[in-house]
Amino acid sequence: MNKATTDTRINESEERHFATLVANYQNMVYNTSLGILQNEQDAEEATQDVFIKVHKGFAKFGEQSSLRTWIYKIAINTALDAYRKNRRTKQKGFGFLFGNNTLAEEPANFHHPGVVLDQKENAAILFKALNKLPEKQKLAFLLQKTEGLNVQEVAEIMETTAMAITSLLARAKENLRTIIGDTYKLY
Amino acid sequence: MTTNMKPQNESKIQSIMNSLDGCTSAEPSPYLLTRVMAAMANKNDMQNGWSKLLNVITRPAFALGGLILIVILNLFVYLNYNDSNSFNAASVTKTITVTDDFTANVNSFYEIENVEP
């Protein structure tokens, strides 16, 4: 792809390069978005937006990080923006007329298509609990579990140190145990 | 907290925590590239001509600004209309004086033809 191009209109050769890039990274982007948004349609839309941003921003890509890390960052930011927007929309509604404007609608169980069949129910519980974690903890946990990244790679994507990620993951796991225990009265 | 937990509950939590182990990658729709290209083409069209103007004027900030302007204009007209309707003796006298001073004194044909010596 021509790096000088900022216009979203592309010629035939660029189109081929862009198609290769999409083919190489679409699963990675879609999976990341799916973990954060927990909705297949929203994840598809976020994936589309990510590739439009990648194409538009390719001229600005400075190669300080690898292309993969750069695309991961765009995917995470796009999915998190969409997630926050969805939550705000759900919270607003017409609840204020009945005095329950602070309660967000409880999302339906999310069944990740990549989870093995006998773990589907457990994974749905885990995804629900993940939504109650602080954003950074949720993100670190998802990148490690669903993307299979190691601590160093997660640290690079989240622009922090490996030590900080280790501590973030430990807190995420501890919080998840508490949330699951409290929700399902296991304590 | 974990110390008070029954062993079967502990294993249940552990099983939930490990439920994403061995999770395979989910795949997007096979038409993703086509949709991305279509979305980019659509964005280009949107950035041309009238669409650009439409994009600007449909922004919430623009609409809100317009609404505030209309409200201010309405208030201004309403307040002025009320002022001009209120009875003010001084202004009436002034108007009469001005009318007297500047009225064109057009004589009728009768007066022109029968001028008194």
Tell me the shortest Cα–Cα distance from B58 to chain A, in angstroms. Answer: 20
Alpha-carbon gap: B91 to the closest alpha carbon of chain A (Å):
52
Q: Does A126 touch chain B (CB under 8 A)?
A: yes
More confident of the two residues A62 and B70: B70
Portion of chain A with pLDDT greater than 70, in percent: 83
Q: Which domain holds residue A76?
A: 1-104
| CATH for A138 | 1.10.10.10
pLDDT score at A4? 44
Side-chain half-sphere CA neighbours of A80 within 13 A: 14
- With an 8 Å Cβ cutoff, are B20 and A8 in contact? no
Residues A7, A81 share a domain: yes
Q: Which whole-number Å values give the CA distances from A43 to A25, A46, A124, A162, A164, in the listed order?
A: 14, 5, 17, 28, 28
pLDDT confidence band for B108 (50 / 70 / 90) = low
Q: Is residue A3 domain-shared with residue A92, that is, in the same domain?
A: yes
Cα–chain center distance at B46: 21
Q: Is a pLDDT exceeding 80 seen at residue A95?
A: no
Output the pLDDT for position A65: 77
Which of B2, B12, B20 is the best substitution to test chain A (most A C-beta atoms within 10 A)? B20
Q: Are residues A4 and A71 in the same domain?
A: yes
Q: What is the DSSP letter of A112?
A: -
Question: pLDDT digits over A34-52, tens only?
Answer: 999 999 999 999 999 999 9
CA distance B33 to B27: 13
Q: How confident is the model at residue B105 (pLDDT cuts 50, 70, 90)?
A: low
| Radius of gyration of chain B, Cα coordinates, nearest whole angstrom | 41
Task: Tell which of B23, B24, B43 to mutate to test the A interface (max A CBs under 10 Å).
Answer: B23
More confident residue, B104 or A53: A53
Of A87, A104, A121, which residue constitutes the final position of a domain? A104
Q: Quick one: pLDDT band at residue A127, thresholds 50, 70, 90? A: very high
CB atoms within 10 A of CB A32: 27
pLDDT category of residue B43 using cuts at 50, 70 and 90: confident
The answer to whether residue A2 scores a pLDDT higher than 80 is no
B23 touches chain A (CB under 8 A): yes
How many Å lie between the alpha carbon of B32 and the closest alpha carbon of chain A? 7
d(CA A100, CA A96): 6
| B77-96 average pLDDT score | 69
CB proximity B112 to A under 8 Å: no
Q: How confident is the model at residue A103 (pLDDT cuts 50, 70, 90)?
A: very low
What digits encode the pLDDT tens for the residues A10-43?
577 778 888 999 999 999 999 999 999 999 999 9
Question: Residues 27 to 46 of B: which have CB under 8 A from any A CB?
Answer: 27-29, 32-33, 35-37, 39-41, 43-44
Domain boundary among A39, A70, A104: A104
3-state secondary structure A21-72: HHHHHHHHHHHHHHHHHCCHHHHHHHHHHHHHHHHHHHHHCCCCCCHHHHHH
| B2 and chain A in contact, CB less than 8 A | yes
Contact by Cβ (8 Å): A75, A32: yes
- What's the structural domain count of chain A? 2
Judge contact between A107 and A63, C-beta under 8 A: no
Residue that has been written with the tokens 């439409």 in this structure: B54
Q: What is the mean pLDDT of chain A?
A: 85
**Model pTM score:** 0.69
CATH of the domain at A89: 1.10.1740.10
Q: Does the pLDDT at position B51 exceed 50?
A: yes
Min Cα–Cα distance to chain A from B52, Å: 15
A62 and A119 housed in the same domain: no
What pLDDT is attached to residue A116?
Answer: 86
Closest CB from B16, B26, B36 relative to A114: B26
Instruction: Answer yes or no: are the C-beta atoms of A109 and A126 closer than 8 Å.
Output: no
Q: Do B12 and A8 touch (CB under 8 A)?
A: no
Minimal CA separation from A129 to chain B, in Å = 10
